Amino acid sequence: MAEAVLRITQNLFVTFFEWFGELGLFCVRVAKATFRGPWEIREFIRQLDAVGSKSGPLVALAGAATGVVLSLQTHDSLAKFGAKALLPSVIVFSLIKESGPVITALIVSGRVGAGIGAELGSMRVTEQIDAMEVSAVNPYKFLASTRVLACILMLPLLTLIADASGVLMGWVSTTLSDPISLKLFLHTGLKDASMSDFLPPTFKTMFFGLIIGMIACFQGMRTRGGTAGVGRSATSSVVLSSLFVIVADVILVRLIQVFFPS
Amino acid sequence: MKDSPLRITGLHKSFGSQKVLNGVDLSAAAGETVVVLGRSGTGKSVLLKLIVGLLKPDAGSLKVHGQEIVGLEMDGLNEIRKKIGFLFQQAALYDSLSVEENVAFPLERHSRISDAERHEKVRSLLASVGMERDLAKMPSDISGGMQKRVGLARALALDPDILLFDEPTAGLDPITASEIGELIVKLKKERNLASIVVTHDVHGAKSFADRVVMLREGKVVIDGTFSDMEKSRDPFVVEFLKDAA
């Protein structure tokens, strides 16, 4: 019995470290491919569209919902303490510093991560990636680096969309109970905000993009086992990239506090 | 003596404890079509993947135009790959690209020709496999046989002198399978290619094989003409041909 438990634990450890080792090698290959020409400009633009413009509406909707919920949840609490005037600041700060970036990353992880995992997984099991290698084309460059770069570049832009729609809908929700002009709402919300409150949290999403792109491409390109394997890759891409985004967020928030104190 | 663009000596490959290839020797001369026969799981497709460097052998030598490719770095391997065309079992067309873009894919990356010349070359490649009218179609909009034709055009894009076919007639109706067989013969004549065809289709193989190699448990049991194989008294060969009849 104890022997079996030991063996299972050993296997789990080996699998865990193997996965990290393979991911490390994959990242090195993608990095090498990224910085070495010729560039796959057309595929990169296609990926910017797939990751960015096609995620825009969903991210805007999620940001808007977050803005409304923040307004609804904090309105009563602040009213109890006689601090209703702080509501615009609470909404703006919550959105730009944390909710906007994290919500955007999780939405992209779900939509784009699953898409990349399934697409590359399907290409793997139908030998399309092998066909690419046989044509002397580096799949780490054509498939992985274009997608990873697109995720890195588009995440901050999508975060801006989430922030803007969240603030806008936060104002709509607030003004329905306590009428306030948009100008005054924005003025009150932004008066204590500085660039260091806005830029580091927005740009930290580039790391989230890196995580989502790398993990989704990695899981997709190592797919085994036919259509069932493709399903597993899509699911694991979402689960793992969301998990790593949350863990990375903890570290990045602390780093931002250290390097960009308010 | 004919040239041998491809020469394989003592090739071994295992997956874990399973020995797939156990000392395979094989060569293909220019203008020669070698058919590799054998039961499923005898390492026929693995042999093709070893030739193009998708898998690494455990031991043995693999020479393309006299250059050893075992242990070659990626850049060197890619130069060799440009001389080899590969038709995959399911064609492996890029499903996000049109027929024309699929064939143009290797040309865009490896040949320094103008857009107009590339377009003309793609048209002529597709015409050579009877697919010149379907340039704009997506792979999902064409049949399995048509996909194989497009896959063949793509495999020929960089003017290879070695062509590898992985089950080119599998899953096709007898008429389409026969058309693919005719294409293999036509290409051999027109381009003087050294071809290796992995197949289960004994009848089809008879029409395009110059030489037949049969694998059993990772070893070559027969290497000769089709009539040599038919005359063989090896019980495995006799049974294989009987079951295929």
Q: Taking residues A210-226, what's their average pLDDT?
A: 96
Q: What are residue B40's phi and psi, to 5 degrees?
A: -60, 140
CB distance B11 to B62 below 8 Å: yes
Q: Any idea where the domains of chain A sit in the sequence?
A: 28-259
What is the distance in angstroms between the CA of the first residue and the CA of the last residue of chain A? 55
Homologous superfamily (CATH) for B6-83+161-244? P-loop containing nucleotide triphosphate hydrolases (3.40.50.300)
A128, B93: Cβ pair inside 8 Å? yes
pLDDT one-digit tens code per residue, A124-168: 999 999 999 999 999 999 999 999 999 999 999 999 999 999 999
The answer to whether residue B49 neighbours chain A at the CB level (below 8 Å) is yes
Measured between CA atoms, the residue of chain B closest to residue A127 is B92
Q: Are A135 and B154 inside 8 Å of each other by CB? A: yes
* Shortest alpha-carbon distance between residue A195 and chain B (Å): 42
Q: How far is A129 from chain B (nearest CA, A)?
A: 8
Contact B109 A134 (CB under 8 A): no
Contacts of B102 in chain A (CB under 8 A): none
Tens digit of each residue's pLDDT (9 = 90 or more) over A225-258: 889 999 999 999 999 999 999 999 999 999 999 9
Q: Which chain A residues touch B90 with a CB distance below 8 Å?
A: 126-127
Domain boundaries, chain B: 6-83+161-244, 95-159
State the pLDDT at residue B37: 92
pLDDT in tens, B71-122: 899 889 999 999 999 999 999 999 999 999 999 999 999 988 999 999 999 9
Instruction: Quote the ipTM score.
Output: 0.91
> Does residue B174 have a pLDDT over 70?
yes
Q: Is the peptide bond before A38 cis (omega within 30 degrees of 0)?
A: yes
| pLDDT value for B3 | 61
pLDDT at B35 over 80: yes
